[in-house]
Amino acid sequence: MSIIRSAIRSSLCLRQSDHVISRSSLLFLQDSRKCLSTATETEQPPSSPLPPPPPGVSPGEGRFYGKFSGFSKHSLRSDIMNVLEGCNVTPDDLKFNYPRGGNLTPAAVFVQFPSLSAYDRALRNIARKGKLYRLERAARSQWDPIVPFEGKVVALHGLPVNAITDDIDKFLSGCLYYPGSIQFLTIQGLGTSKRVALVRFTSQTQAMNAYITKNRNFLLNERITLQVLQ
């Protein structure tokens, strides 16, 4: 009899133990499902690949470069800025490119745009404001090497062959410039050559002041033409 009772107790203990194990396993699985469900809800979907940058733009840079042409020899930064109105560019985003050994006529203005949409806006401006202008794509490798004159350098055209630094000083009397910056150049033209002096002024304002007050004045009986280099 005692043997039968012991067997019944053992069976009850095993059933209780199985119930505890099953319940624990169920709770563990429920907790696991909750964790998996939470992870699934918070997981972000994979982002779509970004489109490749357009030519002339470095990855992640966000800038776009253009080559602007069709303007006159005496065009200023302000003239170009008027055409590029609404394109989110500043005067510092313009670089006038003067060919080496040329006649100081800028071959082009390279423009740094903040985005491709700003470049497209510039194309629309040109189509509306002036068909003589032209804007085409450029690369940063064309932009970087250019050192701009920043509107602070003035070229004096038509110098006599015997003009010296002292003559330039007298001609520019009353203007604020760097005397040590005076540089003489000989530019070859069509069968002729002409002498030019480059002078760096203390600011864009002073360079424009010299242009306004000294342009077409005489130096050693020769009429001198001034050009503000951008």
My answer on whether 122 and 102 are in the same domain is yes
My answer on whether 71 and 133 are in the same domain is yes
My answer on whether 92 and 129 are in the same domain is yes
Strand partners for 136: 67
What mean pLDDT comes out for the span 58-78? 82
On the question of pLDDT at 14 being above 80, the answer is: no
Of 143, 164, 181, the residue at which a domain comes to its end is: 143
Residue 61 CA to residue 114 CA, distance in Å, equals 9
On the question of pLDDT at 100 being above 60, the answer is: yes
My answer on whether 133 and 177 are in the same domain is no
Of 103, 123, 143, the residue at which a domain comes to its end is: 143
* Residue 183 near residue 104, CB atoms below 8 Å: no
- CATH classification at residue 82: 3.30.70.330
pLDDT of residue 39: 33
My answer on whether 165 and 215 are in the same domain is yes
Element spanning 136, H or E: strand 134-138
**Full-model pTM:** 0.68
pLDDT of residue 191: 75
* Tens digits of residue pLDDT in 34-52: 332 323 333 343 333 333 4
pLDDT of residue 132: 85
> pLDDT band at residue 85, thresholds of 50, 70 and 90?
very high
pLDDT of residue 74: 83
DSSP secondary structure letters along 163-229: --HHHHHHHTTT--B-GGG-EEEEEE-SS-EEEEEEEEBSSHHHHHHHHHHHTT-EETTEE-EEEEE
Specify if 4 maps to a domain.
Answer: no
On the question of pLDDT at 167 being above 90, the answer is: yes
Q: Which domain holds residue 97?
A: 64-143
My answer on whether 177 and 124 are in the same domain is no
Specify if 57 maps to a domain.
Answer: no
Phi, then psi, of 117 in degrees rounded to 5: -65, -35
Of 111, 143, 175, the residue at which a domain comes to its end is: 143
> pLDDT band at residue 141, thresholds of 50, 70 and 90?
very high
> pLDDT band at residue 130, thresholds of 50, 70 and 90?
low
Q: Which two tokens stand for residue 88?
A: 């989110």
On the question of pLDDT at 220 being above 90, the answer is: yes
Domains: count for the chain: 2
Residue 228 CA to residue 74 CA, distance in Å, equals 7
My answer on whether 135 and 173 are in the same domain is no
Residue 58 CA to residue 152 CA, distance in Å, equals 31
On the question of pLDDT at 183 being above 50, the answer is: yes
